[in-house]
Amino acid sequence: MKHTIHRRKALALSVAGALAIGLSLSAQAADYPAKPINFVVPFGAGSATDLLARAIGQSVSLESKQTVIVDNKAGASGMIAAQHVAKAAADGYTVLITTNTTQSANEHLYKKLPYDPVKDFTPVSGLGKGGQVLVVNVNAPYKNVGELLAAAKKSPGKLSFGSGSSSSRVAGEMLKQLAGVDILHVPYKSNPLAITDLLGGQIDMMITDTTTGVPQIKSGKLRALGYSTKTRSAQLPDVPTLDEAGVKGYDMGYRFPAHVPAGTPKEVVARLNELLKNATKSAGAKSFYETSGSEAWTTTPEELAQFQATDALKWGKVIKAAGIQPE
């Protein structure tokens, strides 16, 4: 009899404890945000991701009446920042503002990651998207994509393309694969360094981010031949997409998604999703999209999870076909 009473008391205490925890989490979600939010960025101050995080953060701060702190944890292809967020408290106050690099590409570029891009995170929303542009020196004989590829097919391995980022490298490799051409890859530490050599005639072409490429195109030093996504760039409306130019199926862009640690309460994720979506419509965010050649891109958490799964498969396929060995 005594054992039965003890068991009943233990069960009652257990249920009461569970209810208390549940009510506590619900209260936290209802009050969110009740303290400053940390936006963790995997790249340095002044990078495109950093500028977007600051523009979005300013709007979130105004709407929520809470401070948003942008914390740059650059290095190791974004792994330092991703690991930091993965291990943070799952309460919605530590948010990874990132790109395809940490969530889609790294798992194929490195043998071992200090985080799991799927299991360690809860997707919140997309924030923006953009593409890259295929450029050649303005003095090059190629006036369009067809002429460039014809020259590449005529002399396999003679032409070269430079890249200073994973996105630029993979974009070039995808062009080679879909067009069936052999073009030599020349690696650089950054896209601006590759652009310098392209202007100097040391390489023949590259597919670069619009932030780096558009100023050189506008100044008449580089010729834009094609854009990397399925829709044309608002900054370069006269430049056809690579798909339009004859490289059927070409679509390689970059995304800015937001993630929080796995286990973050759904109510908190929903509120943060709302704050971030509203922020993409702010004046600061619109200014960023216009100057960087990107555009707003928002999703539900479920849509972002599905996009990430598809995107990771695409990156993996291109990287494997290119013979790029994980480090």
Q: Are 256 and 97 in contact (CB under 8 A)?
A: yes
| DSSP state string for 54-111 | HHHHHHHHHHHSS-EEEEE---GGGHHHHHHHHTS-SSSSEEEE--HIIIIIHHHH-S
Query: Percent of the chain beyond pLDDT 90?
Result: 72
Average the pLDDT over 246-260 and give the result.
Answer: 94
Mean pLDDT confidence for 136-146: 98
Cα–Cα distance measured from residue 284 to residue 280, given in angstroms and rounded to the nearest whole number: 8
pTM for the complete prediction? 0.79
For residues 39-63, one letter each, b for 16 or more C-beta atoms within 10 angstroms of the residue's C-beta and e for the rest, the string is bbbbbeeebbbbbbbbbbbbbbbee
**Residue 293 burial (C-beta neighbours within 10 Å; 0-12, 13-18, 19+):** buried
Distances 149 to 264, 270, 321 between C-alpha atoms, Å: 49, 47, 19
Burial category of 201 from C-beta neighbours within 10 Å (exposed 0-12, middle 13-18, buried 19 and up):
exposed
Q: What percent of the chain has pLDDT over 70?
A: 91
Instruction: Estimate to the nearest angstrom the gap between the alpha carbon of 305 and the chain centroid.
Output: 13
Rounded CA-CA distance 9/189 in Å is 65
Ordered by start, the domain boundaries in the chain are: 32-128+255-321, 132-227
Fold match, 32-128+255-321 / 132-227: yes
The values of phi and psi at residue 319, to 5°, are -65, -40
Beta pairing class for 254-261 and 94-97: antiparallel
| CATH, domain 32-128+255-321, list 3.40.190.150, 3.40.1350.10, 3.60.110.10, 3.90.870.40 | 3.40.190.150
Q: Which of 202, 128, 171 is nearest to 319 (CA)?
A: 171
Q: Please give the average per-residue pLDDT across 131-149, as a whole number.
A: 97
Tokens of 233: 């760039």
Question: How many of the other CB atoms lie within 10 Å of CB of 294?
Answer: 26
Which residue has better confidence, 30 or 214?
214
Q: Is 17 helix (H, G, I), strand (E, B) or coil?
A: helix
Residue range 222-230: mean pLDDT, rounded: 96
Buried b (16+ CB within 10 A) or exposed e, 244-269: bbebeebbbbbbbbbbbbeebbeebb
CATH T-level assignment (fold) for domain 132-227: D-Maltodextrin-Binding Protein; domain 2 (3.40.190)
Structure tokens at 184: 């030599």
Selection from 270, 316, 210 nearest residue 30 by Cα: 270
Q: Is the pLDDT of residue 64 over 90?
A: yes
Q: Give phi and psi for 277, each to the nearest 5.
A: -60, -45
pLDDT at 68: 98
Please tell me the predicted confidence (pLDDT) of residue 160: 98
pLDDT digits (tens, 9 = 90+) for 159-200: 999 998 878 888 999 999 999 999 999 988 778 889 999 999
